[in-house]
Amino acid sequence: MSDTNTASTPLQDAGQPVRDDPPTPSSGSTARSSAIMAAGTLVSRVLGLVRVALLATAIGAAGQVSDLFTSANNLPNFIYLMLAGGVFNAVLVPQIIRASRQPDRGSDYVSRLLTLAAAALLVLTVLVTLAAPVIVSVTTSFTGPNLALTTAFAYWCLPQIFFYGMYAVIGQVLNANGSFGPYMWAPVVNNIVSIAFLVVFIAVVGTEQVERHSPGTWTSGQTLLLAGGTTLGIIIQALVLFVPLKRLNLGLRPRFGVRGTGLGRTGKLASVTIVTMLIGNGLYLVNLRVATMASDARPRFLAQDPPVQIAGSTNLEFGAMVYQLPHAVIALSLATVMFNQLSAAHADGDLPTVRSTLSQGLRIIGVATVFGAAALLTFAGPLGMLFSESAESAALNGVIIAILAVGAPFLSANFFLNRVFYASEDVRTPLKIQIVLSVVGVVFALAAGMFDPRFIVPLLAVAYSLGNVIAVVVSHLFLTRSIGHYGAGHVFDVHVRLTIAGIVAAVVGTALCWAFGGYDAAGFLWQSKLNAAVVLVVGGLVMSVVYLGMLKLLRITELSEFVGPLLARFRRSGARPSSPGNV
């Protein structure tokens, strides 16, 4: 095969001295692309919050069915990420960029890639779906009727694997060709479909607060509306990407075979990445089993007089979704665009640009994630209220959100640090890092499982936050050995000042939350989801103003450096003279 001895271009320092604060690259195109992606992600996440709020209304956050559905619906994502996600999301972009420099713009490579991906995903999905009973029994601690209903949900949810994979691989082809928007806007359609089915479910079946759903009263029609509607949303999310893919005009068509295409090299890189994902998601599997220990114990606590609600896997899932909002809206969008810059710099052997892009990205991402952590800590209560059927379950959600919020900035920082390894097609170092983190994570999870069921999920949340902090330290140590000093001192200094700004904003937000009765069980905030939303909107605006004022006071320029070119472009567009035919 022609790619057998292919190696990436070695990075050269060209004798240049290493600076603690490398020069930053131009950010105009990065700002525009990231803004488009962030806008799509923001709309999708807002709709996602609506979907989760409706899901909590339909089956509850601490009910007898909620954890069963959550466990089954997480399986396709978990299995996809474990077996293919790392390949599609990290390995492919540098390969596609290299192929796009060929005379055919990468048409042959992408055609063979899509054909191979579709065939592999189809086989994987069929086999996994047939093995649903075994997979559910291995990944959860459920027994009896709980196990049976979770398995029924899994049969409907596991086909999502194929469409998750196609969505990812097509999205990476689009990203590598500079089309960033569709990949982030497609989930909007998914959420709209899911919301529609949940509205029908609530109208036809009723709410958790009224019906008190249980495995014994659940019907196949309810499974169709809940799990079937969720899967249909994922299917449509993947299919809509074929429209922008066609607009690339690459002349794609089904093609089998990998000889002479470079896919052999992709396979070698992918094999190591798959091992990394297996280890990382093995940790998720341990966390899931431990969390379902609390879920399986829930009926016993609800049967007490008075009933006692405890956090289960659904509460952990809701909390994880909320605390990842800053990462998903800003950090992920920016990192996706900068990943192309990092890949191009590595391909050209331009190590100084790699360093400067990394330093700039970490500082800009911190502006959003530190504020996000401060806001999540301050308004964990009202956020929990949005995804709950009662004030009691809202308090459970709020505790989990607050604990996870501490690790939010570290989650995004570690994600971006690891992009540098993948941009250089170094898949072995992330494997080493993941082994270290997984060992630590498994120890934390098993320790949490030894406690009373009431404390298992909160302790798992603590383990998540500690794991994110440890991940940044470990990734930084490995990265400095690989590319040298990248301005970590400047990055740390900026984050210290960002933290000060976040604390001041959080103090103001806490005072406002107190004024709305956030620390009184009979207060305004706890009376309804609408009241909680009002507190979030008002408090979020106030905290934003205070935070931006503190950024200016502390002379933190990263936000304006990133947003400035984008705003200048909009101002130029607005000042453009009208054409003669315009009124």
- pLDDT tens digit string along 465-477? 999 999 999 999 9
Q: In this predicted structure, which of 164-173, 438-447, 532-541 has the lowest mean pLDDT?
A: 164-173
Spatial CB neighbours of 436, under 8 Å, sequence gap ≥ 6: 474
Q: Cβ(396)–Cβ(62) under 8 Å?
A: yes
Which of 421, 264, 337 minimizes the C-alpha distance to 40?
Answer: 337
Residue 557: per-residue pLDDT: 85
21 versus 93: the higher-pLDDT residue is 93
**Mean confidence (pLDDT) of the chain:** 81
Most confident of 23-37, 79-93, 187-201, 258-272: 187-201
Q: Give the largest Cα separation in the chain, rounded.
A: 77
Q: How confident is the model at residue 29 (pLDDT cuts 50, 70, 90)?
A: low
Q: In this predicted structure, which of 333-337, 430-434, 527-531 has the lowest mean pLDDT?
A: 333-337
Q: What is the C-alpha separation between 174 and 408, in angstroms, rounded?
A: 28
Residue 153: per-residue pLDDT: 96
Spatial CB neighbours of 537, under 8 Å, sequence gap ≥ 6: none
**Residue the block writes with tokens 């014994």:** 216
Which of 344, 327, 335 minimizes the C-alpha distance to 180?
Answer: 335
- Quickly count helices (H) and strands (E) in the chain: 26, 0
Q: How confident is the model at residue 72 (pLDDT cuts 50, 70, 90)?
A: very high
335 versus 314: the higher-pLDDT residue is 314
Which helix (H) or strand (E) segment is 117 a member of?
helix 107-130
Residue 108: per-residue pLDDT: 80
**Mean pLDDT throughout 339-362?**
83
Residue 121 has pLDDT above 70, yes or no: yes
The 3-state DSSP class for residue 183 equals: helix
**Mean pLDDT throughout 263-289?**
69
pTM of the model: 0.71
Which helix (H) or strand (E) segment is 113 a member of?
helix 107-130
**Mean pLDDT throughout 291-307?**
83
Residue 583: per-residue pLDDT: 30
Structure tokens at 470: 């440890």
Residue 202: per-residue pLDDT: 94
The 3-state DSSP class for residue 12 equals: strand
Residue 51 has pLDDT above 50, yes or no: yes
Residue 24 has pLDDT above 60, yes or no: no
Q: Cβ(59)–Cβ(208) under 8 Å?
A: yes
310 versus 573: the higher-pLDDT residue is 310
**Mean pLDDT throughout 16-32?**
44
Residue 172: per-residue pLDDT: 79
For the stretch 186-233, pLDDT in tens is 899 999 999 999 999 999 998 887 888 888 899 999 999 999 999 999
**Residue the block writes with tokens 């596609």:** 96
Residue 505 has pLDDT above 80, yes or no: yes
Distances (CA, A) of 424 to 90, 277, 340, 418, 481: 10, 18, 11, 10, 14
Residue 26: per-residue pLDDT: 46
Q: What is the C-alpha separation between 396 and 117, in angstroms, rounded?
A: 41
Q: What is the C-alpha separation between 430 and 423, in angstroms, rounded?
A: 12
For the stretch 325-348, pLDDT in tens is 888 777 777 776 777 778 778 777
Distances (CA, A) of 344 to 349, 428, 496, 580: 9, 20, 31, 43
